[in-house]
A = this chain, B = another copy of it.
Amino acid sequence: MTSTSIKLSAIKTACKTCSLHDLCLPLGLDLGDIERLDEIVKRSRPLHKSEYLFNSGEKFTSIYAVRSGSIKTFTESEQGDEQITGLYLPGELIGLDAIHDNQHPCSAIALETTSLCELPFDSLEELSSQIPELHRQLFRIMSKEIAGDQSLLMLMAQKSADERLAAFLVNLSSRLKARNFSETEFNLTMSRKDIGNYLGLTIETISRTFSRFQSEGLLSTQRKYVNIHKLGELKELAGITDHCTTPDCPSKTA
């Protein structure tokens, strides 16, 4: 009985059988190397909605990969303004911003029931010095995060409320599609308030913009549920180059 349950949990954590394989750390690794990666992955109980994964200021020990669900990260300034810095979907890595000074500059909260793979950074670092392809993939992922933040900066600095919300939706849609979810019908896991904060806008502006998009027939919403009717027009509004810089992003190949 005990051995069965161990085996079951082992199967569950196995990178080699994980459907997120190509969106996550194992991309490009051969089977033997994936098995070595599997050995350092720790799996704990899923987080419930609103549970913290870590808190700003905490000591950095591990990188986390989202297995299912979603996570938001946010920083708080000394004046108390909160800024959401990231929304992480399955296959994406959390905590890369904490490496440089060994503590988390942001907090991370589950937006829904979320399970994660924990990768102790010391082990990961050691393993990556033995597996060049893992090393390379880690660099790629970090580089992508930098490039993604830079597109977000452009969004904030140069774009109107309409363009920002459109870009947010198009980006989300692309990433969901890459994960085999519908690209036109999905649930926002963030509240209007969170979306506004993320995009540098107020909740009222987000709400009004959604209403206008709806009256223009671009999409329809019921609270968190979104149905995009005219993805093409939305992409155009977003400036086609949505701020998704993932290699798996459909808009890149289109």
Contact = CB atoms under 8 A, between A and B. Distances in A.
Interface of A: 75, 77-79, 81, 83, 85-86, 96-101, 105-106, 125, 128-129, 132, 135-136, 138-147, 149-154, 156-159, 197-200, 239-241, 245, 247
Given A77-B154, A129-B135, A199-B157, A143 B83 contact: no
Count this chain's copies in the assembly: 2
A75 B154 contact: yes
A239 B78 contact: yes
Contact of A240 (B78, B97, B101, B153): B78
**Majority secondary structure, A binding face:** helix
Nearest to A135: B129
Contacts of A97: 143, 146-147, 150
A79 B142 CA distance: 27
30 contacts: A78-B239, A78-B240, A81-B154, A81-B159, A83-B150, A85-B150, A86-B150, A96-B143, A96-B146, A97-B143, A98-B143, A99-B139, A100-B141, A100-B143, A106-B150, A125-B135, A125-B139, A129-B129, A129-B132, A135-B135, A139-B142, A142-B142, A149-B149, A149-B150, A152-B153, A153-B153, A153-B156, A157-B198, A157-B199, A157-B200
